[in-house]
Structure 1
Amino acid sequence: MTHNFIKSESTYRSKPPSDSSLLVNQTPHLIMGSLCTFQIGIDTIISDCRDCIVGQACYTCKLKRNHKALTRARENLEARKGDVNDSVARAEQQLIKPSNEVKLWLTRPEKTIEKAEKLIDRASGEIEKLRLAGCFSKDCKSSYKFGKQVARELKEIGVLLNEGYFDKIGEKEAASKVERRPSEPTVGLGSTLSLVRSSLEDNNVGIIGLYGLGGVGKTSLLTEINNMLCDPPIRYDVVIWVESSRSDTVQEKICEKIRPSDEPWKKKVGGEMAQDIYRILSQRKFVLLLDDVWKLVNLKDVGIPNPSPENGSKVVLTTRLSHVCRAMRAQRIIEVKCLGEPEAWTLFQQKVTFTNSDPEVREVAKSVAAECGGLPLALDIIGRAMTGKTRRESWDFAKKVLKNSAHKFVEIRKLYSVLSDSYETLLRDRMKSCFLYSSLFPEGSPILKSSLINYWFGEGLLDMFESINDALTHGHYVIEQLVSANLFQQDEKDDYVKLHDVIRDMALWIACGREAAGKRFLVQAGLQLTEAPKVGNWKDMRRMSLMQNEIKNLSFIPRCPKIETLFLNSNDLQVIKGGFFQSIRNLRVLNLSDNRNLTRLPEGISELVSLECLDLSSTGLRELPIKLESLSKLKLLDLKNIKKMERIPQKLIRLIEELRRLQDLNMLSTHIGSISALERFLSSHNLRGCMVELWLHTLSESEELNVISLANMKLESLNVCNCEIMKEVIRIQIPTNTPRFDKLGTVEISFGHNLKDTTWLILAPNLKSLTVAFCQEMEKIMSKHKLSEVANVVGDLDSKQFDKLQILWLNTLPNWKAYAGKPYLSHV
């Protein structure tokens, strides 16, 4: 019927004019023909009208029935669409790729269904109008048009339904999906690549974490791994590379690679995406390569099946943050280290493309390469910048700039911009300040953790803690975070950290340039200076480091009211002008240690009313200014190894009297050269509570030292030296409240010629380092006789007493026999 209606509609549109007056004036033979023609025209018109009326009646009077038919047709189309989608999903699980015909059909139902729904919603109103007015109402034309739309939509859905049946969904995809990535020849990555290769072959290793400095070559290494997987035999169904997962695009990148279907991924939420990814990858043996990870990527949330021996899949990630590897539970964590000197020179030569074979130029070039610290990105940037430079003067200048002020080397700022991303990951400004503070130390110099924390505490970077012990705990946490971010490196000695040369330069670039307004630094450490910088350079400085130079005199008065830290240690200071300290009253940290020719301090040091940390250790001071008590905010005072002061014990006693008045003192390190001075020291509860390092030298008044009097203190380090008359370091009469040296980690005993054992150390459960040297009568570490006496008082002794001992140094002990009680030192 629809076909006939369309034909009648065509005839109706082309009908001739109906005005009969136009036919009357024609010639006879033409009239005859016209009459015939007129008759035919009338018949056609009548037929057209009949078809029109029938058609309209068909569309309008059957609208209710067509409405129901359209509703059922829409439901059938929606069901057919769901069936096809389910078939596609099942096919993908079998690694079958949908055909283009199927994918094209899936794009069509959605719009058709939306159009049908609009017609269905409107049909109720049209049907109600017809019920009230009848099929031949004045609204017939409107109803006719609407009925026609319904009929057309019904036909379109019928066609779409018929086309939605397929003999097959698609063809099975090729097994391997590995794309080779562009790469350059690498240097020095062979051993690390071998470790990764062996990890990929290890069934017990599912997740491999690679961490290291920015620019160390992690991405280059990951590229080599990717390309290695391209070579036969290919053992994986798919290798997926995701760049910079710092952004939230991991799922999208994976979806682009595995293509579960052609539906727009942006229309799916994370959970739906994860289900699709899991459905596909759970049927495949895959390798996921995650490059430049800055935070935990939850594989489950993304939809990545957990790699296991059963599925044989792997995840390899690179990151600057070692804790990310642990957070992602990597079974194999590998540090990508900087290049050694030979490899660094090889890489540098590749980048610089030497055109000059002058051996002198090459020798200077080696020094320039060495300034890069084996960091491949630095070698690349500096090498390219020096390409074409054939004059030795150019290389000498580059060496000087890189050595003294690398941040002024224009090209290297590109490197700092890359490295500073690690700095930006530090969430707290205080932690950033702690990191920048470390640039005050000389290049390549190990930094004692406890000293660094003390300086942070004195400068107010840890001023949320009143107690130095709490500050120390938090300070070690900060150091751990900086090590994890690869801004600090753990030194070979556990108590020290260090900065890579390029990282230190980057810190200075930030402190002296990018953030100069709030963090003005002047750092000229370890440069063999014989004079301090010009006074004008001090004006706006907040932190200054002139350590490890050869400065002899400070004979000027600086004007630097903003300065808070001043490092003058490890120089050859002999004279400090009386008024030197008068204009730096805001100074909080002052380090004058290791100036052995500095015999006196100016009285003006009492002007430093804001001073909180003062280090005078290993100086030649003979006495301290009487006005030391003016430093009322002093919290940390280091007086150890001031040997010349030991010769005037009455001055030392006076010192102790002065120290009693420093009520804020938290940490004290000092030498004591007499038993009477020690007794007076111990009589002060305040001083007992802040002593962390104690040097007892030349105690000649007694054959016995009651070391038990030092128990239950904060004491971390004890040095007993040149006590030749002393025969005992502990009285046998141990009190019944079981004294302990819980904090004591380091003990050094030397030149105690009459000492025979160190049994008292059984009361130091956390001892890490023990040195016994130049003790003529020393026979044993532990005496069985004394051990039994100690046990009678304190109870059974722990057989794991020395489990934390790391260093045992025994030197020049001519009467040495052995140690009793094997369990106590069996692991040494």
Structure 2
Amino acid sequence: MNRLKRKLDILEGKEDDINEELKYAESLSMKRRKKEVESWLRSVGRIKNKVQRTEQEVQERRRKWLPSIQLHRNLDRLMAEAGELHEQGAFPRGLTLEAQESRGVSFPTTKLVGQMFVENMNTILECLRNNSVSVIGIYGMGGVGKTTLLTHINNELVRHGPDSSVSWVTVSQKFSVHKLQVDIANALCFSFSIEDDEKKRAAELSNFLGTRKNLVLILDDVWEDIPINEVGIRVGVNGCKLILTTRYLDVCQKMDCQKQIRVSPLSDKESWELFLEKLGVDMKLTPEIEETAKFLVKECAGLPLGIITMARSMKGAEDMFEWRNALENMKESKLGHDDMEKKVFQVLKYSYDMLKDPIVQQCFLDCSLFPEDFPIEREDLIELFIDERLIDGMKSRQAEFYRGHTILNKLVNACLLENLEIYGIKYVKMHDLVRDMALQITSTSPRFLVEASVDLKEIPDEEEWVEDLVKVSLMDNGISSIPPTVSPRCPSISTLILMSNRLTSIPDCFLWNMTRLSVLNLSYTDIEKLPNSVLDLVNLSALLLKRCENLKYVPSLANLKALRRLDLGYTGITEVPQGLETLDNLRYLNLFATSLLICPGILVNLFRLQHLVLDWNSSTKVKGEELANLRRLETLKAQLYDVNDLNTYVSSLEERELVSYTLQVGFGNNLCWRINNYNRTVALINSDISKITSEKYPLLLPQGIQFLYIESCRLVRSLSEASSLENIANLRSCRIVLCDGIETLLSVSSSCSLPILQSLEELRLQELQDFTGLISEERDVSSLPPTGTFCSLKTIVINGCPSMKNLFTPALLLLFPNLETMRVLLCEGMTEIIAATTHESEEEGSTSGGTAELSLPKLKSLWLSFLPELESFCSSKKTLVADFLQEITIDNCSKLKKFSLLDNEPCHLPSLQKIMVREEWWESLEWEHPNAKNVLQPLCLFQK
């Protein structure tokens, strides 16, 4: 044993020398240890362990005086092995190779399919050539092809990157700094001198990476953000370039990826090409099978993993019935084939499992209640989360929505949902296979019954209504009736969605056994009467009847004490349901019903209301005092009796601020003003507000108002006379229609500069008989309001103001630096748009620094129509420059013979794309600049 230990000491000395030499070589130059050296070091490690165990056995037998022939043989064998290893450790050809000799390992992979994959690959390669990009993140849902894309990048670098090397590390879901350090070191053929100290190991790895020029490190399948400094990954000029793949966008963001690339599913055409490639050239499809196969591929919704797996599972299937069976299984969300279930379902389910938070997981599963390929409005989803108490206990409804959007963002970041925006409204959408995965989960526990938008004519058979069902969605079908004897025994159901069906009635017995029902959605049905059994659902939290236009009457709701949300919007009811005033748990109430009459006092006890919507018709009015008692309101849409009621309610807000509101005083037939993009609106209609200049007769507007609409009112001569408007600073749009009395927006004699005009982005003045101009008594630049008064204005529309002679003067034009759209029409007295003043020479010196130019620096669209007296666009002698003007429309301006804006050097209108005019007017124009007409004529689109 002693002789063996002496041999081992010599061998360990050799090992220490080799490790020191390796460490030195790898730290100074692009060297990597040989494979035979790695193997030798492992063998030395193994023999050291064997010697240690043998020594323990020798000591044990020595104490007991037990001789052993076998032990002697082991000692002889170990001494021989130690001597042999010592001889092998000479390494006459050296310990290392130049690292450039191996740029990495080329992996087998499939052909890239799809234009987007090719574009993504080119983008990544371009980023690798860009010194300013050090960290690249590739994200997308499971099975979408992230690893395949990265494999092509790896192989491209290995085969065609003479100045670079690449190392690949797959990151496990059970990530640890220690394990990742070991994996990266192994991939780089690097050994740590210290085994356990993570900080020192990180320093060693960082120093080593600093010596590896043009190294690309790939981290595949990252599930959470990695603290790269703690690991020792040095990136940048003195380090490596890092590429990572993940299913989570926020992992890319948290790891400071300078380039984030989403890998999206394939198009239908690309999906079919991939399917045929994986099916094999020997597989001949009959026209009938090919048609079914295309539907089958479509069910995979562009997910490469699903398409490849499906193609492999259908290899050799020549029977039409097999193809149709596969299609039916996919349509019914039964993945069916073992390969599909194992490879696709499990891959997608990892993302679900990694959500970890049970509430977020339940919110995700709720998305499967909606039809396949259905854009789900984000706010509708969040309302459902609130109704089901998945979001609860927040201090305000706004806080609940913040939480809801956070949950949806988490699901989008995990690529379990995708964002959509349609006409400015935000939606989310579920990939078909992700939805199939969700339905697979809900086929056991929690148990859902989902047959949404599958063209059902009748409700599912009773055997499908099993006792452990918790949620049922039959939305968007053709169900017109429920048999009078059907009474499912489903005591655990909490959510029942029957919306968007042709249901006219529901038998009482249908709901008898649904004692825990919390959410009942009958919106968009033809239901005429609620079953009496609804009134026994004491756990009901949400009763949704929106757009049930045939519903004329709702019985007493007094028993529904748990009700928190009641939506009767756009129903045919004429009376408020009895017992409504006793539902003191209500948070959400929509009574936007055209024929509904609101009785005073009905809202007094609903002190928990956060969301209240009433109709704006002439009979649906509410008192300011009644609204003032609802201290928790955050969203309000209602018509008040008069300005005094408005003032009463606004006064009650004190420090509170509504999140969203539409407050209307008076009733008018012009409803188009309601179609706007502003969620804080006040409309004053058919009211006398000509006395709002004093504190005795104020007009109080809520803080944060964005849109002010005034119609058919008696107004003050100038808005600047209304002292009550001085504190309104966030107004973005103002529309004044059919009002008498108002002559100007601002009066020079008034010291009020109206802050509301500084934030204003849109101004529309329509049919104002007395209106003469934006500012009264303008003489020169010194009489103008302060700079910045109209600095935010982008759109101005003047329509039907017969007393106006002009819109601007050269000095006034300076107050509109951001004007983009100008429309002037039906102004019978308008003679010029920009009028020269008698003091123009003074203005030139004082405002323009002596230059001979006027400018509309942001103007894009100009529209002049039905201006019978218009003789000049700009009578000033200054040249008007509009560098961003894109389109001009002129119609029925018969006296306009010279158009100075066009009759200039063409360079004054470098962005002009379209001129909409009548041909006879164009031909009658008088031109001073000889080339202007010929240059501009190709842009003309002549009106008939």
Matches within 5 A, 1:483-632: 483-493=412-422, 495-512=426-443, 516=444, 518-540=445-467, 541-554=469-482, 555=484, 556-595=486-525, 597-632=526-561
Structure 1 residue 453: deviation in Å?
2.7
CA contact (8 A) 1:707 1:730 kept: no
Match of 1:241 in 2: 168
Q: Residues 521 and 763 of structure 1: is their aligned pair in 2 closer, same or farther, counting only changes over 3 Å?
A: same
Amino acid across the alignment from 2:24:
R
Check the 8 A contact 1:340/1:374 in 2, yes or no: yes
Matching residue of 1:351: 278
Greater mean alpha carbon deviation, residues 750-759 or residues 483-492 = 750-759
SS state at 1:628 partner: coil
What one-letter code is carried by the residue in structure 2 that aligns with 1:526?
S
For residue 495 of structure 1, give the secondary structure of its aligned residue in structure 2.
Answer: strand
Corresponding residue for residue 918 of structure 2: none
The match for 1:325 is 252
CA distance in 2, matches of 1:102, 1:659: 81
- What is the match of residue 617 of structure 2? 698
Give me the whole-angstrom Cα distance separating, in 2, the residues matched to 1:361 and 1:747.
Answer: 61
Q: Is the 8 A contact 2:33 2:189 kept in 1?
A: no
| Residue 103 (structure 2) aligned to one of 144, 166, 177 | 177
Which residue does the alignment assign to 1:744?
660
Aligned counterpart in structure 1 of residue 585 of structure 2, from 664, 669, 680? 664
Which amino acid in 1 is paired with 2:353?
A: E
Find the partner of 2:131 among 203, 228, 240: 203
Residue of structure 2 aligned with 1:684, choices 594, 599, 604? 604
Kindly state the Cα deviation for residue 636 of structure 1 after the two structures are TM-superposed. 1.2
Label 1:252 to 1:778 Cα distance change in 2 as closer, same or farther (>3 A).
farther
In 2, the alpha carbon distance for the partners of 1:819 and 1:321 equals: 53
Compared with structure 1, are the counterparts of its residues 577 and 332 closer, same or farther at alpha carbon in structure 2 (3 Å cutoff)?
same
**Pairing 1:340–2:267 present:** yes
Deviation (angstroms), 1:463: 4.6
- Tell me the equivalent position of 1:383: 311
Counterpart code for 1:744: S
* CA distance 1:203–1:604, shift in 2 (3 Å): same
Residue in structure 2 matching 1:765, options 704, 710, 719: 704
Q: How does 1:16-35 map to 2 (within 5 A)?
A: none
Residues 241 and 289, structure 1, Cα contact 8 Å, conserved in 2: yes
Of 347-356 and 163-172, the range deviating more from structure 2: 163-172
State the alpha-carbon separation in 2 of the partners of residues 752 and 111 from structure 1: 96
Alignment of 1:99-138 (within 5 A): none
CA contact (8 A) 1:352 1:383 kept: yes
User: Cα offset for 1:103?
Assistant: 9.9
Contact 1:703/1:728 (8 A) holds in 2: no
Are 1:531 and 1:552, in contact at CA under 8 Å, matched by a contact in 2?
A: yes
Q: Per the alignment, in what secondary structure is the counterpart of residue 637 of structure 1?
A: strand
Q: Partners in 2 of 1:417 and 1:109 — Cα distance? A: 39
Letter in 1 for 2:166: V
- Which range moved further: 222-231 or 471-480? 471-480
Match of 2:379 in 1: 450
Output the amino acid matched with 2:518: R
Indicate the structure with greater strand content.
2
Q: 1:714 aligns with which of 625, 633, 648?
A: 633
Match of 1:438 among 367, 370, 379: 367
Q: Which one is further off, 784-793 or 477-486?
A: 784-793
CA distance in structure 2 between the partners assigned to 1:734 and 1:247 by the alignment: 56
Larger Rg: 1
Aligned residue in 1 for 2:185: 255
Distance 2:118 2:665 in 1: 48
Contact 1:243–1:290 (Cα < 8 Å) also in 2: yes
Query: More displaced, 600-609 or 663-672?
Result: 663-672
SS at match of 2:159: coil
TM-score, normalised relative to structure 1:
0.71
Query: Is 1:372 aligned with 2:300?
Result: yes
Determine the C-alpha separation between the residues in 2 that align with 1:178 and 1:789.
78
Note the alpha carbon deviations across 1:351-390, whole angstroms, 9 max, x for none: 2337345334323322221111111111111222223334
More helix by share: 1
3-state DSSP of counterpart to 2:100: coil
User: Which digits, 9 at most, give the CA deviation of each residue in 1:273-298, with x for residues without a partner?
Assistant: 33332232111121111111111222
Task: Kindly state the Cα deviation for residue 568 of structure 1 after the two structures are TM-superposed.
Answer: 0.6
What is the rounded CA distance, in whole Å, between the counterparts of 1:165 and 1:439 in structure 2? 64
What is the rounded CA distance, in whole Å, between the counterparts of 1:749 and 1:243 in structure 2? 65
Give the drift of 1:473: 3.3
Given that 1:711 and 1:739 are in contact with CA atoms closer than 8 Å, whether structure 2 keeps it comes out as no
Higher alpha-carbon deviation: 668-677 or 294-303 = 668-677
CA contact (8 A) 1:740 1:763 kept: no
Quote the Cα distance in structure 1 between the aligned partners of 2:503 and 2:704.
Answer: 41
Check whether the contact 1:704–1:727 (CA below 8 A) recurs between aligned residues: no
CA-to-partner distance for each residue in 1:11-67, whole Å, 9 max, x for gaps? xxxxxxxxxxxxxxxxxxxxxxxxxxxxxxxxxxxxxxxxxxxxxxxxxxxxxxxxx
Decide whether the 8 Å contact of 1:603 with 1:625 is kept in 2.
no
Q: Could you tell me whether the CA contact under 8 Å between 2:570 and 2:593 is conserved in 1?
A: no
Q: Is the Cα–Cα contact under 8 Å of residues 712 and 739 in structure 1 kept in the other structure?
A: no
Contact 2:519 2:542 in 1 (8 A): yes
The offset of 1:218, in angstroms, is 0.3
Any conservation in 1 of the 2:544–2:568 contact (CA below 8 Å)? yes
In 2, the alpha carbon distance for the partners of 1:813 and 1:526 equals: 46
- In the alignment, the residues of structure 2 paired with residue 469 and residue 712 of structure 1 have an alpha-carbon distance, to the nearest angstrom, of 15
Deviations 1:418-450 (Å, cap 9, x if unpaired)?
110011102122222221122111111122233
Determine the C-alpha separation between the residues in 2 that align with 1:663 and 1:317.
53
What residue number does 2:240 align with?
313
State which of 9, 23, 28 in structure 2 corresponds to 1:89.
23
- Matching residue of 1:227: 155
Shift of 1:588: 0.8
SS at match of 1:579: helix
Q: Is this contact kept in 1: 2:708–2:731, CA < 8 A?
A: no
CA distance in 1 between counterparts of 2:312 and 2:663 reads 52
Equivalents in 2 of 1:593, 1:335: separation in Å? Answer: 37
Q: How far did 1:504 drift? A: 0.7
Counterparts of 2:110 and 2:768, CA distance in 1: 64
Q: Report the Cα offset of residue 88 of structure 1.
A: 3.5
Cα distance between partner residues in 2 of 1:812 and 1:369 = 56
How far the C-alpha of 1:571 sits from its partner, in A, is 0.3
- CA apart distance, 1:790: 6.6
Secondary structure of the 1:563 match is coil
How far apart, CA to CA, are the structure 2 residues paired with 1:422 and 1:659? 44
Q: Does structure 1 retain, via aligned residues, the 8 Å contact 2:494–2:519?
A: yes
**C-alpha separation in 2, matches of 1:108 and 1:532:** 73
Alpha-carbon distance in structure 2 between the residues aligned to 1:792 and 1:192: 58
1:325 maps to a residue whose letter is C
Q: CA deviation at 1:199?
A: 1.6
- For residue 488 of structure 2, give the secondary structure of its aligned residue in structure 1: coil
Percent identity of paired positions between Structure 1 and Structure 2 = 28
Question: 396, 399, 404: which is aligned to 1:475?
Answer: 404
Alpha-carbon distance in structure 1 between the residues aligned to 2:669 and 2:644? 11
1-side partners of 2:581 and 2:31: how far apart? 84
Structure 2 distance, partners of 1:670, 1:181, is 64
CA distance in 2, matches of 1:185, 1:496: 34
Give 1:400 deviation, angstroms.
2.8
TM-score, with length taken from structure 2: 0.63
SS of equivalent to 1:575: coil
Q: Which residue of 2 aligns with 1:795?
A: 727
Q: Compared with structure 1, are the counterparts of its residues 704 and 733 closer, same or farther at alpha carbon in structure 2 (3 Å cutoff)?
A: closer
After the TM superposition, which of the residue ranges 705-714 and 545-554 deviates more from structure 2? Answer: 705-714
Question: SS in structure 2 opposite 1:179?
Answer: coil
Matches of 1:302 and 1:375, distance apart in 2: 34
Aligned residues of 1:675 and 1:699 also touching (Cα < 8 A): no
Deviation at 1:632, TM superposition (A): 0.9
Displacement of 1:180 in angstroms is 1.1
